[in-house]
Amino acid sequence: MHAEAMIACCARLRRRHLCGTCKSKLLSGSVDMKHNGGIRQREIDAGLFLPCCSKPLSDLVIDR
Ligand code: FES
């Protein structure tokens, strides 16, 4: 993720708006995601995740 996108995300979160800018598809691997919004359960069920809020638990293949 580019630093500018993360700075914009932090600004949105400070204003209590949802972000989701970094939403990506996890093609393989697993992550521990702790988010505060910006992604819906049905999107998570479809394999999407927020890299900025996730800790990789394995090697990952991601589609942005
Ligand atoms: S950059 Fe905002 S949710 Fe990830």
Examine the pLDDT at 1 and tell me if it is beyond 60: no
Residue of minimum CA distance from atom 3 in ligand 1: 20
Domain boundaries, the chain: 3-63
Give, rounded to a whole angstrom, the gap between the first and last alpha carbons of the chain.
Answer: 10
Ligand 1 center from residue 20 Cα (angstroms): 5
Band of pLDDT at residue 8, cut at 50, 70 and 90: low
Q: For domain 3-63, give the fold.
A: Ubiquitin-like (UB roll) (3.10.20)
pLDDT of residue 15: 58
Higher pLDDT, 8 or 47: 47
pLDDT at 13 over 90: no
Query: Given the structure tokens 């049905």, which residue do they identify?
Result: 42
pTM for the structure as a whole = 0.76
Give the distance (Å) from ligand 1 centre to CA of residue 10. 8
3 state DSSP class of 56 = strand
- Atom in ligand 1 nearest the alpha carbon of residue 9: 2
Measured between alpha carbons, how far is 38 from 47 in angstroms, rounded to an integer? 14
